[in-house]
Structure 1
Amino acid sequence: MTPAVKCLIVLAIVALLFITELIPLAITAMSGAIACGLLGFIPAKQVFSGLSNSTVVLFAGMFVVGAAMFHTGLAQKIGISIVRFSGTSENSLMFGIMIVGAGLSSVLSNTGTAACLMPVVLGICAAAKIPASRQLMPLAYAAGVGGIITLVGTPPNIIVSGALTSFGYEPFSFFEFAWIGIPLTVVAIAYMMFIGKYLLPKAELDADQEIEQEIEATVHDSKKQIISGLILAVVVIVMALDLKSISLEMAAIIGALVCVLTGCLTEKQAYASIDWVTIFLFAGMMPVSTAMDKTGAGKLIAEWAVSLMGGAPTPIIMTSVLFIISCTLTQFMSNTAA
């Protein structure tokens, strides 16, 4: 059995574990990297090389900067202001929710955005006698689609950019995703406003039902809210300018350090805000990717895929197939893992 075939078997086992989640995703990813090292696909010193990748630093820094917005209550305050400004009619409220959800998730965690806005939306729905499900589903869609606007909007964006760097190509710039992300976000909001709303379920919520706050602000200081907002704004601007003297990773870490030093969140909160599953998923799968390249497993998959598409597929066909495969996989597994 050739090394390429052995590597494909390892990859198939890893993919199966990602889909079934029989063991935690982070353990699956790191186990895949360790297996590649034990089987000699990559040198032992490369097994944990993903943890030293600069993309990991970018992940960690942006998780902390984003968390400061939630812990100071600034993200919640923005959400409350815009949602209340939209009024209590179903259409205007839906529009306001989707705008603020997409906007915040473009630079913050989409999960955190949905979680911090959820109690705000539920409270308004209960008071206005509006079915909660008809506003929560648009919130979820907006938080998801908003993440594709910038490089740091969602982990997969950073992962593919890091992959380009590891193979010697120029990484994506901060707003390069926006050329496609913004039009898709506009289309998603328009679809929900004019078509999707007729397909939404109607789950009623009692006005006196207690609303649980998913992400609570731990600091109620307007000055720190301003500071956390300024930190995020400066980090985003520096990243967008693509300065040669300050890399994306440096900007993210400096922003994270300032967040802790100014008291926008504590050191423990900073550690807790980092999504370690995403970190280890990236760090574990990068060595597996290297193993696929060195053993020829990646070439085998490419040749097989090309033969299925007729031997000489056009770029449009190749992109379509990859798009369909990715969409299918993410129905069963984490989009970060996929």
Structure 2
Amino acid sequence: MAPAIKCLIVLAIVALLFITELIPLAITAMSGAIACGLLGFIPAKQVFSGLSDSTVVLFAGMFVVGAAMFHTGLAQKIGISIVRFSGTSENSLMFGIMIVGAGLSSVLSNTGTAACLMPVVLGICAAAKIPASRQLMPLAYAAGVGGIITLVGTPPNIIVSGALKSFGYEPFSFFEFAWIGIPITVVAIAYMMFIGKYLLPKAELDADQEIEQEIEATVHDSKKQIISGLILA
């Protein structure tokens, strides 16, 4: 069997395991790399070379910094302050949620940003008598588009930057994606404010129902919050 066919078979198996998640994704990724090495598709010394790539190291560092902001309560505090400042009317609340969601997700985890703001949004919606479903979807969209503003906002940005560098080209700078990311974010917010809001569902949610938070604040030490904010800056 030709090496190209073998490679396609390995790729198909790995893709199937990624889709079905029959085994943990990390094991799937490592197994695919090991299989390529054992079958001779790549040199053995390159099987784990990606783990030492600067892209991986940068992402690992940002995950730690982002986790510090969530676990010290700084991210939650930022979200609560800005969302409360925006008021309790549906339009102003939607604007505030999307601004803070996009801002936090540009330098932190998109999922973590949505997770830490979700209980805040539910509580405010309950107090303002606004269906939470009409604010949670804008939050999700804002967290998604905000990630494309910076180099570390979402994995694909830094992956393509690393690919450019590996081929000898000048990699993207930290804010170079902002030339596209910020206009897209502005358009997304404007769309939700003027058009998308008419398409949002009006499902009623109980703010007191138990919601599993992906990231919860474990401490509320102001000193630690300041330190984590300075580290991010």
Please say whether Structure 1 and Structure 2 have the same fold, judged by a TM-score greater than 0.5. yes
Alpha-carbon spacing, 1:27–1:92, altered in 2? closer, same or farther (3 Å): same
Name the % identity.
98
String of CA shifts for 1:265-314, please: whole Å, max 9, x gaps: xxxxxxxxxxxxxxxxxxxxxxxxxxxxxxxxxxxxxxxxxxxxxxxxxx
The worse-fitting range, judged by mean Cα deviation, of 4-13 and 27-36 is 4-13
Q: Is residue 98–residue 139 contact of structure 1 (8 Å, CA) maintained in 2?
A: yes
CA RMSD of aligned residues (A): 2.6
The worse-fitting range, judged by mean Cα deviation, of 211-220 and 144-153 is 211-220
The worse-fitting range, judged by mean Cα deviation, of 68-77 and 21-30 is 21-30
Inter-partner Cα distance in structure 2 for 1:212 and 1:4: 45
The alpha-carbon deviation at position 20 of structure 1 amounts to 2.4
- Unaligned residue ranges in structure 1 (runs of 5+): 230-337
Alpha-carbon spacing, 1:213–1:22, altered in 2? closer, same or farther (3 Å): closer
Alpha-carbon spacing, 1:207–1:66, altered in 2? closer, same or farther (3 Å): closer
The worse-fitting range, judged by mean Cα deviation, of 217-226 and 102-111 is 217-226
User: 1:153: which partner in 2?
Assistant: 153
String of CA shifts for 1:192-214, please: whole Å, max 9, x gaps: 11111111111213465566655
Alpha-carbon spacing, 1:9–1:209, altered in 2? closer, same or farther (3 Å): closer
Inter-partner Cα distance in structure 2 for 1:14 and 1:27: 10
The worse-fitting range, judged by mean Cα deviation, of 182-191 and 8-17 is 8-17
Inter-partner Cα distance in structure 1 for 2:177 and 2:115: 24
Inter-partner Cα distance in structure 2 for 1:132 and 1:206: 9
Q: Secondary structure of 2:32's partner? A: helix
Alpha-carbon spacing, 1:39–1:100, altered in 2? closer, same or farther (3 Å): same
Q: Is residue 110–residue 147 contact of structure 1 (8 Å, CA) maintained in 2?
A: yes
The alpha-carbon deviation at position 60 of structure 1 amounts to 1.0
Q: What is the TM-score with the length of structure 2 in the denominator?
A: 0.92
The worse-fitting range, judged by mean Cα deviation, of 97-106 and 218-227 is 218-227
Alpha-carbon spacing, 1:209–1:23, altered in 2? closer, same or farther (3 Å): closer
After the TM superposition, which parts of structure 1 deviate over 6 Å for at least 4 consecutive aligned residues? none
2:140 is the alignment partner of 1:140: yes
Q: Is residue 122–residue 207 contact of structure 2 (8 Å, CA) maintained in 1?
A: no
The alpha-carbon deviation at position 72 of structure 1 amounts to 1.6
User: 2:213: which partner in 1?
Assistant: 213
Q: Is residue 151–residue 176 contact of structure 1 (8 Å, CA) maintained in 2?
A: yes
Q: Secondary structure of 1:78's partner? A: helix
- Unaligned residue ranges in structure 2 (runs of 5+): none
Alpha-carbon spacing, 1:208–1:3, altered in 2? closer, same or farther (3 Å): closer
Alpha-carbon spacing, 1:3–1:167, altered in 2? closer, same or farther (3 Å): farther
Q: Is residue 125–residue 205 contact of structure 1 (8 Å, CA) maintained in 2?
A: no
Alpha-carbon spacing, 1:208–1:22, altered in 2? closer, same or farther (3 Å): closer
Alpha-carbon spacing, 1:186–1:156, altered in 2? closer, same or farther (3 Å): same
Alpha-carbon spacing, 1:208–1:42, altered in 2? closer, same or farther (3 Å): closer
Q: Is residue 94–residue 193 contact of structure 1 (8 Å, CA) maintained in 2?
A: yes
More contact order relative to length (CA 8 Å, sep ≥ 6): 1
Q: What is the TM-score with the length of structure 1 in the denominator?
A: 0.64
